[in-house]
Structure 1
Amino acid sequence: MLSFPLDKVRAIIDRGRTDAKTHGGFRNPYRSLHPVSDEQPGLWLVGDRGVYLCSNGKLADGARPLIAYAEECDPNTCDDWFEVKRRTFGGDDGVEFLDAKQLEAIMAASPNATHLRVAFSSGALQLCLVERL
């Protein structure tokens, strides 16, 4: 299971919307596989060098998206990040889209929550909110 502070989740959603408004929409990581014209606000859960959340608004040339590493899988602070990434996200690199509207609804329904937790099971992601003291 991986954890992301909700203040960072909210900041990434906001940044994606700001980038989209400024630069003409949202990016779609699956465009080559599933070309869709209705890209929407959300986050990308990315597994490559660690596991992190990434904003999905279109960016200016050379700009970088806002990201937040999972607390348990940050290559800058966790010596065992590669093993954690392999056990949770899997050995291959990849990206999963998380819908901003759905995340915002569950955050609004859990006002005392402090973290988004992501659990991985055979081909599925489970999202839940938890309160850490």
Structure 2
Amino acid sequence: MATSEISKKNLVDISFMGLRSAVGVIFIVAGTSKLGNPGFGGFLSSLGLPPEMQIPIGLAETIPGILLIIGVLSRISASLLSIIMLGAIFLVKEAQSLTGDGGYRIDLILLASCLVIVAAGPGRVSLSHIVKKLPRFIH
């Protein structure tokens, strides 16, 4: 393999790690803020959802965010987060405006980022890739 091919592969892998990390951090912060915020239950009620959904929604953002950062179950985690972003766009913001107050542009960027992770996988800089490369006798 030529040096430039190795450099390109390394750049792609580092890029996927950066994408997974950025998306993961955003969802960890968003999810944990929902877990400790009593006002979020009231917000859910205003959407017609039971306030008891606060904990499952918070965990559904936090846990996949952590898994994305470490690179385990990345495609499944990104799929779950994609569903959450579709809910944010269509249920919460009602897909009314891309920009301005209540705009869904950031939600759309997060959705697209999650879909890239679903399609491409975690890359070589991930715990799942490292585990695959361990010698057979360790498994």
Q: Answer 1 or 2: which has greater strand percent.
A: 1
Larger gyration radius, structure 1 or structure 2: 2
Q: Answer 1 or 2: which has greater helix percent.
A: 2
TM-score in same-fold range (> 0.5): no
Q: Calculate the TM-score normalised by the size of structure 1.
A: 0.30
